[in-house]
Structure 1
Amino acid sequence: MRDYLLTLCVTAAVTYLLTGPVRKFAIAAGAMPEIRARDVHREPTPRLGGIAMFFGLCAGLVVADHLANLNSVFELSNEPRALLSGAALIWLIGVLDDKFEIDALIKLGGQFIAAGVMVMQGLTILWLPIPGVGTVALTQWQGTLLTVALVVITINAVNFVDGLDGLAAGMVYIASSAFFLYAYRIWYSYGIEAAAPATLFAAILMGMCMGFLPHNMHPARIFMGDSGSMLIGLVLAAAAISVTGQVDPDALRIFEGSTREATHAALPVFIPLLLPLTIIAIPFADLVLAVARRTWNGQSPFAADRGHLHHRLLEIGHSHSRAVLIMYFWSALIAFGVVAYSVHSASMWIVLVVVALSAVGLVLLLLPRFTPRAPRWAESFVPPRYRRPTDAQEAVSGAAGADVTDGTGEVEEEPEERTPVAAGVNGATAVGPRSRFPDRRKAGSSR
């Protein structure tokens, strides 16, 4: 565990330290696109954050190669080299897109090529464990097609969810944390060495996201861009393919007693392969809904819009930070719930806890529909939006004729100012309300 923690910390440190210089480089290179209609940020923000994340990935692999307990991963397996080759290719395509806005079909073709490069170097699905049936060996073509499809779907799922500050990096960090726990358990609890590459990939991915998040939290100073979102999507897919397609469930039979029980013991990894990736179920659901919505409206599946899940959270009244935290909550609930079920699949307590937390999540989703008020004795411990209005505030609101709110349930005490807009015939001045957003161009549009 110490070697994995060291690799994680080095990856995070390199990513964090390089993000600042990368931001300056992105500004100098002009990688700051104009604000689009679907953007939620109000000022042009540099992209190319994936540059720092890629060098963090390289640093993590170099450090792991020099650690005694992790060096065997590079000696006995070609998967780290396959990952680095595919990551370098997808990263270059992302950098070009962040700067020059290349066509979506060209990016899709690059994703297929990157996945094919990894398959050619051995990172592929060899067999498909099916619960209740056992292990089904795949032909070379079947394994290749399934691997390429899984990589491309995962890359685009992560890319689609990258719409709010800190959202994609945080959700992938949560997914990789859950995946690390599961792969580490297979590697050290069962002694199955084939799970070692997936454990290493998940640890490095955690470091990449952890190092970038401080720069990307709202308000973000830099975006990861496609160079970052496609990169972390590919690394996450590589970890899933490695542990799912390379670990033979028959090896678990020694510990579980039968092939069927061994297959069920690895169920949380088979589910990500079949869906694919329940560990990133939220981004995958967003991807499916986006493709269906755009196709239904007669648009290209790659045409950008404001119908993503995070956009809908903003539309119903959630703030930027609250929308991100809600997405974090649901991602963690699904990912860690699956991992916990894999450890104690016979326990009903896990199911009950997941159901209870799901109810909490539904309450959080509906929070803008009502404004809960804390009791008087607890008002000093809660934000102002949850405090009851005082008598003076109610009197002022009644005199004004209507309460003026800021969208969070708080009453604004400052009266509306009026400014002259036109002069009448007799010298009288007509007045009108001054806009709360003097410059609508800066108030802007959503990301």
Structure 2
Amino acid sequence: MRIYLLVIALAAAVTFVATPLVRVLARRVNAVTPLRERDVHEVPTPRMGGVAMLVGFAVALLVASRTEFLGEVFTVSPQAWAILGSAVLICLLGAADDIWDLDWITKLVGQVLCAGLMVWQGVQLVTLPLFDSIAILSPNMLLAITLLIVLVAINAVNFVDGLDGLAAGLIAIGGGAFFVYSYLLTVSTDEASYANLATLIIAAVVGACLGFLPHNFFKASIFMGDSGAMFLGLTLSAAGIIVTGNIDPGASAQLTEFVALPAFLPILLPVAVMLIPLVDLVFAVVRRIAAGKSPFAADGRHLHHRLMARGHSHRRTVVILYAWTTVFAFGAVALAFLPLQTVLIALTVAVVVGIVLTVVPLPVRRSSHRSRHVKGPEAREKVEP
């Protein structure tokens, strides 16, 4: 555990130090978010913070590769290097978009290529756990499912990236839950070595988010931009794919008395971690298509917009979404390690309290300075597929 905590701390420290340097670079290359009617930030703010997160992530992985404990993760297979290489490429793609506003087709093609690099090097589903069994699908089907998962994760983070500290905080919390599950599962199923690629990747991602948050939380001095949103989506999905498709779902049966649950957890947990971004993505696409618009069209009706329209402040909206992510992500993890009845009671109480805090109408704050049809300060409206 200590080496993983070191990875988190190292990624956080490097990202924290690198972010001011990236902020200066972003201003020089004009990667700056302008002011628009639907935005809530009050001054033009540099984006491209994902570059700093990538630096922290890369340094943590490179140092880990030189340690005796985690070095074997890098020598057994090329997956770790494939994830790092794909992360670099997709961050560069996002940085180009932060500077030049690429069209959505160019970004989609780039995303497919980056995901394809990981898949080519073995980061893909091998099996698909289904309740008390595992499905063996054709290689082409597994390839398509893997690519789809990566693309959905990338664009889900992109869609939810709309308020100061929102995306980085959600991924840090959800990733923290994923880290706990992956580590404990490895400890309980592998007596030879606790070194695990998924645990390492998610530890570095969480560290990068934690290092970036002090610069990005309200009021942010820099936004992560597409470079950060794409980076987080790709790396988080990579860790999820490794756990879901490469660990025998029956191996965790000893963790809980609920027979059907262990096999289902490898699928449930990644969904729980990404639940808020995924819900926002689905609602946005359905809403726009139902209105006869392109699913890539910008609007101001994301989950965070709706919360702010009810009268929640910028900071409170972010904290509410943090709380929901905590409930679902850590609730899913608790299902594996605690008695089912205890977890369900705790989740029920948490959900009821969350609904009350979220839904109870508050006086809507009026502002003559800017329109309240806010998008949020992150870059610009995310229009990824």
Q: What TM-score do the two structures reach when normalised by structure 2?
A: 0.92
Amino acid aligned to 1:225: G
SS in 2 for 1:369: coil
SS in 2 for 1:220: coil
**Matched residue, 2:26:** 26
Match status 1:298 vs 2:295: no
Aligned-pair CA distance for 1:77: 2.4
State how 1:106-185 maps to structure 2 within 5 Å: 106-132=106-132, 134-185=133-184
State how far apart, in whole Å, the 2-side matches of 1:195 and 1:342 are.
Answer: 20
Cα deviation per residue 1:184-206 (whole Å; 9 max; x = unaligned)?
A: 01111221769811100110011
**Matched residue, 1:96:** 96
Gaps in structure 1 of 5+ consecutive residues: 371-405, 409-435
SS in 1 for 2:293: coil
Mapped contact 2:289–2:295 kept (Cα < 8 A): yes
SS in 1 for 2:119: helix
Cα 1:238–1:195 change in 2 (3 A) is: farther
State how far apart, in whole Å, the 2-side matches of 1:118 and 1:210 are.
Answer: 25
State how far apart, in whole Å, the 2-side matches of 1:252 and 1:165 are.
Answer: 37
State how far apart, in whole Å, the 2-side matches of 1:211 and 1:65 are.
Answer: 21
1:286 equivalent among 262, 280, 285: 280
Mapped contact 1:11–1:57 kept (Cα < 8 A): yes
**Matched residue, 1:401:** none
Aligned length: 375
Cα 1:159–1:26 change in 2 (3 A) is: same
SS in 1 for 2:247: coil
SS in 2 for 1:147: helix
Aligned-pair CA distance for 1:367: 4.1
Amino acid aligned to 2:293: Q
Aligned-pair CA distance for 1:285: 0.4
Mapped contact 1:11–1:60 kept (Cα < 8 A): yes
State how 1:31-430 maps to structure 2 within 5 Å: 31-132=31-132, 134-191=133-190, 196-252=196-252, 255=254, 261=259, 264-272=261-269, 277-344=271-338, 346-369=339-362, 407=365
Mapped contact 1:41–1:445 kept (Cα < 8 A): no
Cα deviation per residue 1:271-295 (whole Å; 9 max; x = unaligned)?
A: 256xxx2211111000000000111
State how far apart, in whole Å, the 1-side matches of 2:195 and 2:340 are.
Answer: 25
State how far apart, in whole Å, the 2-side matches of 1:356 and 1:205 are.
Answer: 30
Amino acid aligned to 2:152: I
**Matched residue, 1:385:** none
Cα deviation per residue 1:84-105 (whole Å; 9 max; x = unaligned)?
A: 1211121111000000000012
SS in 2 for 1:135: strand
Cα 1:443–1:24 change in 2 (3 A) is: farther
Aligned-pair CA distance for 1:256: 7.4
State how far apart, in whole Å, the 2-side matches of 1:150 and 1:13 are.
Answer: 30
State how far apart, in whole Å, the 1-side matches of 2:87 and 2:280 are.
Answer: 24
SS in 1 for 2:34: coil
State how far apart, in whole Å, the 1-side matches of 2:371 and 2:42 are.
Answer: 6
Mapped contact 1:112–1:148 kept (Cα < 8 A): yes
- Bigger mean CA offset, 97-106 vs 295-304: 295-304
Aligned-pair CA distance for 1:300: 1.2
Aligned-pair CA distance for 1:33: 3.1
Aligned-pair CA distance for 1:250: 5.0
Cα 1:364–1:91 change in 2 (3 A) is: same
Aligned-pair CA distance for 1:347: 2.8
State how far apart, in whole Å, the 2-side matches of 1:272 and 1:143 are.
Answer: 19
Cα 1:441–1:28 change in 2 (3 A) is: farther
Identity rate, percent = 43
Mapped contact 2:31–2:46 kept (Cα < 8 A): yes
Amino acid aligned to 2:292: G
Mapped contact 1:267–1:342 kept (Cα < 8 A): no
State how far apart, in whole Å, the 2-side matches of 1:266 and 1:200 are.
Answer: 22
State how far apart, in whole Å, the 2-side matches of 1:140 and 1:157 are.
Answer: 26
State how far apart, in whole Å, the 2-side matches of 1:242 and 1:194 are.
Answer: 15
Mapped contact 1:183–1:195 kept (Cα < 8 A): no
Mapped contact 1:124–1:147 kept (Cα < 8 A): yes
Cα deviation per residue 1:334-364 (whole Å; 9 max; x = unaligned)?
A: 00000001113x4312101111111111121
Aligned-pair CA distance for 1:244: 0.7
| CA RMSD, Structure 1 to Structure 2 (Å) | 2.3
State how far apart, in whole Å, the 2-side matches of 1:334 and 1:257 are.
Answer: 18
State how far apart, in whole Å, the 2-side matches of 1:2 and 1:366 are.
Answer: 41
Aligned-pair CA distance for 1:268: 2.1
State how far apart, in whole Å, the 1-side matches of 2:184 and 2:165 are.
Answer: 29
**Higher Rg of the two aligned structures:** 1
Aligned-pair CA distance for 1:444: 9.7
Cα 1:443–1:325 change in 2 (3 A) is: closer
Aligned-pair CA distance for 1:82: 1.4
